[in-house]
Amino acid sequence: MHRLKLFIPGPTEVAQEVLEAMARPPIGHRTPEAKELILTVSGQVREMLRTRQTVLLSTSSATGLMEAAIRNLVRRKVLCTSCGAFGKRWYEIALANGKEAELVHFPEGKPVDPEVIDRKLAQGGFEAVTFVHNETSTGVISPLEAMAEVVRHHPDVLLLVDAVTSMGAVPIAFDELGLDVCLASVQKALALPPGFAICVVSDRALERAAKVDARGYYFDFLEMARRAAEGQTPITPSLPHLFGLRVQLQRILTEGMEARYQRHLRMARLVQDWARQRLALFAEESSLSPTVTAVDTMGRFPPRELIQYARQHGFLVASGYGPLKDRTFRIAHMGELQEADLKELLQCLESFLSSRS
């Protein structure tokens, strides 16, 4: 069977050059060559996220780093903001680790409202606030800059940002915004195969970690940061992903961050225009995600029929997430995809709609 082209919110398409880099034979992970590899990749991440702070490279998915952020930076209580499934995941993680957590949930399709969070934080007692930059389950982007500004007014509160489906596709200026953790898996807009995650951690977050007990072992930020400064990782890292990252981050920086952001906006607009014209957008207009669009079928057909049709024509699009499964389907437009790819997909979806009218 011919491979399906991926229009799902991860894994996404990967450049052949990157796949080939991942097939390099392993090297000793304590050699000078490995050190250079780790330092190069860390430097590339720093450039992409406009930061001078610490880059941690994690052999895990981003979910592992979300848990790491909670265990390392929250002693007692965290405020979790949410406008969909991935916002709630932070909350579940906090509870699964024996922390107190409060969830502020905004209706699906709407973004997180920083003003509401500001009032909540003013009540005191929170050591950190979690924030999903781009909520993949509903196709909503929440206002990172406004959120960062709000959190800056609460000096003891750390801001932990899930940038899983925005990193590399949407501008994030880590130092300028004063973020504390910004994490992502590599199989989304960064366009590598899954199995690895990266994050930036601020100095003040590392100072906080030093005061937290039972941080655990595998995801101990202090140990990871100590080794990162030496161009090492505490445990043997996924060398294939590091080989791939070095090539892919260079490709990203060569494309240019600004050009990359614009390409994602153009791809998003293409899909949004089509959805608006033929069906409807699930997310509210002012918060449409640049990387994934949730299309509301308006009850005109079961989304699985469209997904099945697309699959028969070589395209993999995503079902709606959880409770939205029977009402929406999702098209991701990120990473390696180009406008031409989206046009090809939309043409296919167009024939599906015609076949039903």
Residues interacting with a copy of itself, by CB under 8 A?
Answer: 3-4, 6, 8, 10-14, 19-20, 22-29, 31, 59-61, 63-64, 66-67, 71, 92-93, 96-98, 185, 187, 193-196, 213-220, 234-241, 316
- Least separation, in Å, of the C-beta of 68 and a copy of itself? 8
Longest Cα–Cα distance of the chain, Å, equals 63
- 29 sits in the region (left: phi over 0; alpha: psi -120 to 50; else beta) called alpha
CB 314 within 8 A of CB 4: yes
**Rounded CA separation 313/316 (Å):** 9
In the complex with a copy of itself, which residue's Cβ is closer, 267 or 332? 332
In the complex with a copy of itself, which residue's Cβ is closer, 281 or 332? 332
In the complex with a copy of itself, which residue's Cβ is closer, 171 or 314? 314
Peptide bond into 194 cis (omega under 30): no
Per-residue CA distances from 81 to 91, 137, 157, 217 (Å): 8, 15, 14, 27
- Least separation, in Å, of the C-beta of 283 and a copy of itself? 22
- Least separation, in Å, of the C-beta of 118 and a copy of itself? 28
Peptide bond into 302 cis (omega under 30): no
CB 274 within 8 A of CB 288: no
In the complex with a copy of itself, which residue's Cβ is closer, 117 or 247? 247
- Least separation, in Å, of the C-beta of 17 and a copy of itself? 11
In the complex with a copy of itself, which residue's Cβ is closer, 40 or 63? 63
- Least separation, in Å, of the C-beta of 100 and a copy of itself? 12
Over its C-alpha atoms, the chain yields an Rg (Å, rounded) of 20
